[in-house]
A and B are shown apart, each in its own frame.
Chain A
């Protein structure tokens, strides 16, 4: 049986090599850095396509890296169509981001490290996707975390950037404590870190129920951190302090997608553990609404999109919670396309007007027509307008939830439907405030559009209007955002989104013994029928509400509809403050107390012993400075004492 395991191992290696070489370049060598970055992403994408087109049967392959006792760690790959499809999304978005960045960061002084970090980010995500070993998966998982940290902190002019970067890494790292423990419990329980062995042990019931539940909950903590699910979602909105292409990368095809993907990849662990999927479902329902509601009041265009990511990821988590794994992955793919488009489009808008705030935008559809149309497609896909991509994938999730028994499915369905309304509302608000109405004066002096308004010459193109290198990726991403949903019509597509039964893997299993993965018995992504009316009606409701509010006063923010709850939404339910009060402040206070104790008590005892010894020494020294008669008396007294002791004890001699 031929496999392409060595080629699959090369997949993360290509961008990794590009990253290493780029890191060695001088910081300002833009051309080489950009070429290497683009080549790395394009190479990875090309290889993924080759692997996908020649795909015939799932396969795995391993090279042992090191052995700790009886536990081996292998650089292994485990390739199926699901991994390759997500890898395609990663490759496409990474390529778009690398191309876009050339223009977006055209005056950046540190382009080489930036491009290298994007390449490394891509490599880490690809490693997570194809990894066949949990420890190797963890490598990719955390390298991605550190890349997000580095890239969010990239902008040196933004005072908020370093803090946001630290927050992004630490919040996810807190979740990763659980992820570590989950991996370790599974590895120790199964006697191997290979995903194949772990899943085989889980389906064969070799890991006890409690251990499995704890492990799954641990993994879930890590997933919540990476995929920004409540209560570990707080880092994602702040992460937009990074350059806009980085937001596209993080929000679309890397980092946040990894959490969802890992649940998909290790699905038997979650479905086999009691109650864990219910936890995931509740988490998803809460996050879905929370994210959407927070988006309604956000003023920063990137923050709206960031909250929308939080909310959309929760759809995927909700789908996983009810066993609709194929629908979850489908939404992951469509979301990758339209969210990358939206962020890159927002970048063009921000570039043009010189501000992130929607209060400084308006009427941009004339100045940026291609961006306008692309973003319209992206937003329509986000809200789920038929026949765009988001409609089909979201519909598949809602349909699966409506057809599944149990309170978790009911909760996911209710929250999902409510979120559709809210999503339509905030997306319409963003669309209208950015592209319609009268152009508003920008808060920043000297922005190109403002210059155009002052000169009163509409024919003069804005200098930063939409540089081609920025526009092409956006327009290109509009194609999958519009059309990817039709993949659901292809018969072969649904099985591609499912993890094959263990017996079908080449090079991994001896046949037999493994039960099939317990997901929804017959998953379907497409069902044309009366049910489709429900989400469409919800979308229409949201759009109409936002539009009606906007029509009354096209200069005012429709968010005034929210009334007294607006500040609550704008502050995302004050969860940042809660996190600060409950975690950050106590830990830092505790750290200060521990430091004091360590210095005063532990070291104090040591220094005290030293001083004490010196003191006693001084005392004894003084005793020895007595006059001769006293010394003689002491010596004689001592001799007498020894004599008595000798006589008493030495009688036997």
Chain B
């Protein structure tokens, strides 16, 4: 096994082992268990980050393969089902993997310091690690069945995180989340078997390169995939599980949900929708584009009329993911790149915003915009960070969120025909509406006279440690988008080449 393959395994195995150890430690070890889990998360982050160093530098397009992982690991798993344990990483999935391990690590770190009501911190850490295994596995899987399995692994721990540590309506939100995504998963499973049954292989690398699937099969399979991924992403109008789940989930749950869980849907659309069923996605692209822009506009308008802090941030994800989906729907290199950086930027910025919203709600004991106010009077640092997060999220040029938004619009314009130009214009209007609701949020929360007495207005050290990487990344990616897109350029170009 090469060093790269070992790192691939470690990225999955370390958090899995960590979760097992945390679960098996004697019940009285509480803090120690949390620390153990956090160390596991840190090691997983380290392993995933190291994946970059050992990668194959040879130019890939020469090989003529649309998917060329840096390294892969292929083991027979269930031979009589032709099922393989096939992992790999390339420039498309690497940033998402690192984002996942980073956010999980920060969330575990944060849990050492603060456990939301509802259960023990060590259980929460263990569940976070299991979720991480599922999400990272989804990004690393190069086998359709394996992809499906990892996709499903995420569901239960996340259900538990919402249902036990969540807010007042946590049970309802958790059920809705679970059933809604299960409904999508059933279709995903059917789609997987349509493809596997027809092509005789579940290997994503082979499926992307080959032309094993006929057009009708591709259309059928993509329709099934699309619904599953649309629920996860979420795409309007299949989004209504999101505001409930994100609002009710504990802070760390919201961070993981918005930060990386949604990206499983958009990643699936890129890796499987574009790669495996290119004719299907090309056929459905206009519908996808229209729904994406609907999500941008509707998400922004709902936020403009929203009255609760956390719910507003939750809903803002609908609009932001709309930009990502618009980028994917254009099926161009620029659009797919915009989607990739949009994914990462949203994960970083919305992750930060959920941390901040949680901190504000903890201190003010309310999230109602009408009752908040004057945060900059009694908690200036918190207010400053919220301002930074909101400004980053509204897509200010120079910060991470900008690139995905403007280049989704550019990609729509590059398509040239009237429909796409109209979609591009509408998306640009949506970007302005995004600015409107975030400034409304800041005006309600940070400006004006101090409305409430805050408990402990200053920042604690754990908060500072957990948040500052996100602040720095939002700035760094804004100034140097090539940090993500440099490695993605070749694989995305190759992938876009398979679209008819």
Contacts and interface: CB of A to CB of B under 8 A. Distances in A.
Interface of A: 27, 65-71, 73, 110, 113, 135, 138-139, 141-143, 146, 149-150, 153, 156, 159, 161-163, 166, 169-170, 173-174, 176-177, 180-181, 184-185, 187-188, 587-588, 590-592, 594-595, 598, 602-603, 606-607, 610
A66 B482 contact: yes
Contacts of A177: 428-429, 431-432
B431 to A, nearest CB: 7
Given A139-B398, A176-B432, A588-B304, A69 B333 contact: yes
Interface in B232-256: 236-237, 239-241
Nearest to A109: B380
Contacts of B406: 135, 138, 180, 184
Contact of B436 (A162, A170, A176, A181): A170
Contacts of A170: 432, 435-436, 439
B435 A187 contact: no
A66 B431 contact: no
B489 A67 contact: yes
Interface string B110-127: 000000000000000000
A139 B443 contact: no
17 contacts: A65-B481, A66-B482, A68-B338, A70-B333, A142-B396, A150-B387, A162-B447, A169-B435, A170-B435, A173-B435, A181-B425, A187-B410, A188-B410, A591-B302, A598-B302, A602-B240, A606-B241
B432 A184 contact: no
A187 B179 CA distance: 45
Interface string B89-101: 0000000000000
A441 to B, nearest CB: 29
Contacts of B402: 139
A587 B447 contact: no
B380 A110 contact: yes
Contacts of A588: 304-305
B305 A184 contact: no
Given A162-B443, A162-B448, 17 more contacts: A66-B486, A67-B489, A69-B332, A73-B481, A113-B384, A139-B398, A141-B397, A143-B396, A161-B447, A170-B432, A177-B428, A177-B429, A180-B409, A184-B410, A185-B413, A594-B298, A595-B302
A181 B481 contact: no
Contacts of B387: 150
Interface string B326-364: 000000111101100000000000000000000000000
Given A149-B439, A180-B431, A188 B403 contact: no
Contact of A66 (B180, B384, B481): B481
Nearest to B492: A69
Contact of A146 (B391, B436, B486): B391
Interface of A is mostly: helix
B23 to A, nearest CB: 32
A163 B435 CA distance: 14
Given A67-B489, A166-B439, A188 B413 contact: yes
B480 interface: yes
Nearest to A71: B334
Contacts of B407: 68
Query: Sorted from nearest, which 6 A-B pairs have the closest CB atoms?
Result: A69-B334, A69-B333, A162-B447, A591-B304, A603-B240, A139-B397
B414 interface: yes
B179 A610 contact: yes
A66 B335 CA distance: 14
A180 B397 CA distance: 11
B263 interface: no
Contact of B301 (A71, A142, A595, A607): A595
Contacts of A606: 176, 180, 240-241
Given A166-B443, A180-B406, A180-B409, A69 B432 contact: no
Interface in B404-448: 406-407, 409-411, 413-414, 424-425, 428-429, 431-432, 435-436, 439-440, 443, 447-448
B377 interface: yes
B432 A142 contact: no
Contacts of A176: 432
Interface residues of B, number: 58
A581 to B, nearest CB: 17
A598 B241 CA distance: 12
B376 interface: yes
A136 to B, nearest CB: 9
A177 B428 CA distance: 6
Nearest to B483: A66
Nearest to B416: A188
Contacts of A173: 432, 435-436
Listed residue (A68, A69, A180, A607) with the most chain B CB atoms within 10 angstroms of its CB: A68
Contacts of A153: 447
Contacts of A174: 432
B485 interface: yes
Contacts of A180: 406, 409, 428, 431
A159 B448 CA distance: 7
B220 interface: no
Contacts of B493: 69
A169 B435 CA distance: 9
A135 B405 CA distance: 13
Contact of A181 (B332, B333, B335, B428): B428
A196 B414 CA distance: 20
A141 B396 CA distance: 10
Nearest to A601: B237
B480 A598 contact: no
A8 to B, nearest CB: 18
Contact of A65 (B240, B425, B480): B480
A66 B376 CA distance: 36
B439 A594 contact: no
A174 B434 CA distance: 11
Contacts of B435: 169-170, 173
A14 B116 CA distance: 44
A65 B410 contact: no
A642 B391 CA distance: 66
A110 B383 CA distance: 13
B306 interface: yes
B235 to A, nearest CB: 12
Contacts of A594: 298, 301-302, 305
A184 B237 contact: no
Nearest to A141: B397
Interface in B453-500: 480-482, 485-486, 489, 493
A177 B409 CA distance: 11
Nearest to B410: A184
A124 B239 CA distance: 38
Interface string B157-195: 000000000000000000010011000000000000000
B92 to A, nearest CB: 15
Contact of B485 (A68, A184, A591): A68
Contacts of A138: 397, 406
Nearest to A67: B489
Nearest to B484: A66
Nearest to A162: B447
A616 to B, nearest CB: 15
Contacts of B448: 159, 162
B410 A143 contact: no
A143 B302 CA distance: 26
Contacts of B482: 65-66
Contacts of B440: 166
Contacts of B432: 170, 173-174, 176-177
Contact of A610 (B176, B304, B410): B176
B301 A67 contact: no
Nearest to A176: B432
A47 B488 CA distance: 38
Given A139-B398, A143-B397, A184-B424, A68 B443 contact: no
B409 A67 contact: no
Contacts of A69: 332-335, 337, 411, 414, 493
A161 to B, nearest CB: 8
